Amino acid sequence: MTSNRIAYTGFVAFVSVVLTLVVVNLVQGNPEPTAGGTAENADGESVFRLDDVAEHNHAGSCWKVINGVVYDLTEYLPNHPTEEEVFTRWCGKEATSAWLDKGNGRPHSPRAAARLEDYRIGVLEGGAPAPAPVETADSATQPATGDDRLGRMLLGLAPGNYLDGTYRGNFIDRGLIQVSLQFRLEGGRIKGMSYRHLFYRDEDYLKMDSSAELYPVLRQYQQITERLEGEPMEAIFRLYEPENVVDDIDGYTGATLRGAKVISAFRDGLNRGVYSW
């Protein structure tokens, strides 16, 4: 009788352990990081939920959401110039506010923004949540530095702020059009960018052939279109540091100016709104 009771008690204990394990597993889901997103958007990009991101909340697998885009920063982690904990504290989280304010009221640099794009793995379901306020009481009263301005511009280009469609924009200086361009936005990505007009100091660049002295300048302009193809909108800001985008012809002196003109024409197009659907 006693041994029967012991066997029965043991059986009940065993069953309850098994049931507990099943229930815990059902509630927590698979604890292993999932490789893919929950779905794909029209652009073939993975779409994740914050729950998916939350699973990658440690140094061994560190995902963050910044401006509605999901990044797998695991491999970048050892390169980040702070104590590891400063960076890992945000793993698995919506981290736009930390990205836009390094703790001193200033956002990350354009160089850091260019790094970030290498780790993009998808977008957040439903687009960017409203980011936490960027400005501290101090930074609001201080004049904006170059980095601050870039951070604010990046926010302006957050996915969802512009409709898909074809855009046309110009850079005009002293009454003359220097750069006129056209591009499509598809899922917030630049597609089919081309120049309609490229003119500077009596030179019509679009009419040049490869024997022209200034042909390398035209090549740089073309490299911009080639290298922005399929990139997210904010990639235009890489042109503030053109060495990230085009080959050198003159120590990047002219390329810096040309990059600024392209950014300006691009943003002119966005301001004008969709030219055709």
Q: What is the dihedral of CA 104, 110, 111, 113, to 10 degrees?
A: 90
Helix axes 146-156, 110-117, angle to 10 degrees: 40
Residue from the set 103, 143, 175, 251 that interacts with ligand HEM by CB under 6 A: 103
Part of the chain binding ligand HEM (CB under 6 A), chosen from 23-31, 36-44, 110-118, 156-164: 110-118
| Residue of 70, 116, 123, 233 interacting with ligand HEM (CB under 6 A) | 116
- 95 neighbors 87 (Cβ within 8 angstroms): no
Least distance from C-beta 73 to ligand HEM, angstroms?
5
Q: Does 238 bind ligand HEM (CB under 6 A)?
A: no
Closest-CB residue for ligand HEM? 109
Q: Provide, rounded to whole angstroms, the least separation between the CB of residue 81 and ligand HEM.
A: 5
* Residue in 48, 63, 87, 183 binding ligand HEM, rule: CB under 6 A: 87
Looking at 3, 28, 30, 82, which residue binds ligand HEM (CB under 6 A)? 82
| Stretch of 20-28, 30-38, 102-110, 204-212 contacting ligand HEM, by CB under 6 A | 102-110
Contact residue for ligand HEM among 62, 69, 70, 98 (CB under 6 A): 98
Q: Which of 37, 80, 38 is nearest to 59 (CA)?
A: 80
* Residues 6+ away with beta carbon under 8 Å from 21: none
Which residues, including other chains, have CB under 8 Å from residue 142's CB and lie 6 or more apart?
105
* 80 part of the interface to ligand HEM, by CB under 6 A: yes
* CB of 112 or CB of 274, closer to ligand HEM: 112
Residues 167-196 that bind ligand HEM (CB under 6 A): none
252 counts as binding ligand HEM under rule CB under 6 A: no
- Of the residues 61, 109, 136, 222, which one makes contact with ligand HEM according to CB under 6 A: 109
Smaller CB separation from ligand HEM, 64 or 258: 64
Q: Does 218 bind ligand HEM (CB under 6 A)?
A: no
Tell which one of 56, 108, 238, 261 touches ligand HEM (CB under 6 A). Answer: 108
Q: How far is the CB of 47 from ligand HEM (least distance, A)?
A: 20
Residues 19-78 that bind ligand HEM (CB under 6 A): 64, 73, 76
Size, binding site for ligand HEM by CB under 6 A: 20
Q: Interface with ligand HEM by CB under 6 A: which residues?
A: 64, 73, 76, 80-82, 86-87, 90, 95, 98-99, 102-103, 108-109, 111-112, 115-116
